[in-house]
Chain A
Amino acid sequence: MVTISNLQFSYGSHEVFSNLNLTFDEGKIYGLLGLNGAGKSTLLYLMSGLLFAKNGTVDFNGHNMSRRSPDALANLFIVPEEFDLPAMTFERYVLLNAPFYPDFSRATLDRCLAGFGMTADMNLARLSMGQKKKAFVCFALATNTSLLLMDEPTNGLDIPSKSQFRKVVAECMTDNRTIIISTHQVRDVENLIDNVTIMGSRQLLFDMPVAQICDHLTFVDCKLGQEPEGAIYSQPSALGSAVVCGRKAGDDETTLDIELLFNAVLANAESVNQAFAAK
C-alpha cells in the first residue's frame, strides 16, 4: 500500500527523518504516536505529497506522491489537525467535492452523519470546530479512499463524539483500506488500532501489530516494590506500579495499554524491541 524508503527530510537545518523505512499495509488501522516534534504530521504530509523529501521516496500503490497525480490523490484523503471549510451548506460542499472521489458513498456519509447526530443540510459557517471536525471526518470516511490519513482527529471532540468516532471508523474499515491515525490522545484510539507505530527523534522507534504486542508483552498493575522479575518498564500508577513485562509461556494475555507501551518505548525502545526478538 504505502512504502517509505530511505526517507530523509529536514526543515532547514533541523533534521526530522534520516533514512526512514516504513511500510503500511492494507486492511489495517495504524496508530502513529510520538512526542511533539517527532515528525508525525510531517510524515502524513510527506505521504500525501504536501511536503517533498530531501532523499528517498514515498510510494503509494506505485505512485510517487511528490508528483501529486490525480489518480493517487483520488485514492487518498487527509484530515489535518486544523482545517478550514468554506462558508456553504454541507450538502453543497459534498456536491462540489464528492465527484473527485470515484468510490464516494452517499449512504456511508448519511450513516456517519446520523451516528454523530448531524444532517447534511447544516451550514458549515455556523458550526463549531468540533462539529466541523465531525462533518469533515464523515466526508473523509465516505470518500472510501484506500488511504485515509488523520492527524489528531479526536482533538476538539466531546466525550460521546470520541466514542462515536471509534464506532464510525470501525464500521467504515474494509480489507482494502488503510487508515493512519496520528494522535496524542492514545486512549481515544486504544481499542481501534491494529498496529502501533511510534516515532522518535529522526527515526522509527517501534512498529508492531497489536496482536503481536499482546502475544509478546504483558501489561500489569502491581504493588509498589513488587514488580515482577524481568520487567521491561514500570511507572507509578494508582495501584502502585504499572509494569510492562515480556510474556512468558503460560502467562495470560493482557489488554494492551498503549500509554504504558508508549512510555516504555520512549524510555528504552531497545529493551522493548528485544522482547519481540527473544521469544
Chain B
Amino acid sequence: MNNWFNIKRFWLVLRHEFAEAWPELAIFAAVFMVIMCWPVVFFKGAAGQTQAILGVAFGVICVGIVLYYWILASRVFANIQRPERKIGYLTLPASNAEKFYSRLLLYWILPLAFGFIPYPHTGTEITNAWMYFFIVLLLVVQSSLAVLFGTIFRKGGLLVLILAEVVLTVAWVAYFTTNPQSVKNLDLAFVAQIADYVGVTEPDMGRAAKLAFGIAAVPTVFNIGLARIIFSRKRLRRPMVYVEQ
C-alpha cells in the first residue's frame, strides 16, 4: 500500500510540482479571470443591452472557457515533454499514482473547481439549470479528454484533440446533412425523460447537477483511468546520446 499511495509523499510531490508549475498556473488563472470578466467591462449596465448582444457575449465566454480548459488540461504532463526533465520526474521517489494525481490536481481538478465558483457578474447570463448542466457536462468530459490526449501525445495533445473534435463535428454534420431522414428517425425519448426529471419551466438545479454528474462520470472516469495507465507506462523514447549504427 505504501508503495501505491502515501499521503505524506503525495504532499511532497504536490509541493515539488507546484514549485515548478506555479508561474504557468498563475498565468492561466489570470487568463481565466480575463475570460470571465471582460463582459463586465464591455457590457456595463447589461440591463440596457439587447438579448442578442448578451447571447454573443455568453457564447464567447463559453468558447473561451472550453478552449481554456483544453489548453490547461492538455498541458498536464508538459513537464515530461523534454527528456532532460522527464528523467528527473520519472525517477523521483514517489509512486506513479502520486505523480499522476498531483499533476491532475494542479492542472485539472483545481482549475475546474476554481471555474465553478459562482461568478455573480455572469449570473445574468447563466439563468437556468439547463445551461449550467450543459456547461458542466461539456467542461468535465471535454477537459478529461484533453488530459488523456495530453498524456498520450504530450506536446501535440491539444492539436490532436482539436483535430479530432473538428473531424467528428464535420463527420456528424455531414452525416445528418446527407441523411436528413436519420434526423427524423432519431429516438428522442431520453430527452423527454430528462426534461421530466429535471423540469422545463422551473428546472430543479439539484437534479440537473446529479444528472450531469452521472452522465459525465462514465467517459470522464474512462479518460482519466486510461491516462493513468498510460502514464504509468511512460518511459524515455530513446537516449539523447543514442547514435544509429
Contacts and interface: CB of A to CB of B under 8 A. Distances in A.
Contacts of B243: 36-37
A196 B15 CA distance: 41
B159 to A, nearest CB: 24
Interface string B51-95: 000000000000000000000000000000011111110111111
Contacts of B9: 70, 100
8 contacts: A41-B240, A45-B87, A45-B236, A48-B91, A69-B3, A70-B93, A84-B82, A86-B19
A76 interface: yes
Interface residues of A, number: 37
B242 A51 contact: no
A68 B96 CA distance: 8
Contact of B242 (A42, A52, A70, A82): A42
Report the 5 A-B pairs with minimum CB-CB distance, sorted nearest first.
Answer: A84-B84, A74-B93, A73-B93, A41-B239, A100-B93
A78 B242 CA distance: 17
A36 B98 CA distance: 36
A279 interface: no
Contacts of A78: 87, 91
A97 interface: yes
Interface in B161-183: none
Dominant SS at the A interface?
loop
A92 B16 CA distance: 10
B235 interface: yes
Nearest to B84: A84
B241 A49 contact: no
A68 B90 contact: yes
Chief secondary structure at chain B's binding surface: loop
Nearest to B16: A96
B88 A83 contact: yes
Nearest to A152: B241
B201 interface: no
Contact of B91 (A36, A52, A73): A73
Interface string B127-143: 00000000000000000
B200 interface: no
B245 A37 contact: yes
Contacts of B6: 70
Interface string A52-90: 100000000000000011110110111011111010100
Contacts of A11: 238, 242
A49 B87 CA distance: 10
A50 interface: yes
A86 B243 CA distance: 28
B235 A52 contact: yes
B196 interface: no
Given A36-B241, A70-B3, A88-B19, A82 B91 contact: no
A33 B113 CA distance: 52
A18 B83 CA distance: 25
Interface string B220-245: 00000000000001011011111111
B87 A83 contact: yes
B91 A99 contact: no
Given A14-B244, A83-B87, A86-B20, 14 more contacts: A11-B238, A37-B243, A41-B241, A42-B239, A50-B87, A51-B235, A68-B95, A80-B84, A81-B241, A84-B85, A88-B19, A88-B20, A96-B15, A100-B12
Nearest to A72: B93
Contacts of B90: 49-50, 68
A201 interface: yes
A101 interface: yes
Given A88-B19, A92-B19, A201-B245, A45 B94 contact: no
A21 B52 CA distance: 73
A12 to B, nearest CB: 9
B95 A69 contact: yes
Contacts of A151: 241
Contact of B92 (A14, A71, A73, A84): A73
Interface string A148-160: 0001100000000
Nearest to B239: A41
Interface string B9-36: 1001001100110000000000000000
B244 A50 contact: no
Contacts of B2: 70-71
Contacts of A36: 241, 243, 245
Given A74-B93, A100-B12, A41 B3 contact: no
A99 B244 contact: no
B241 A50 contact: no
A81 B93 contact: no
A92 B82 CA distance: 22
A86 B86 CA distance: 12
Nearest to A92: B19
B24 to A, nearest CB: 12
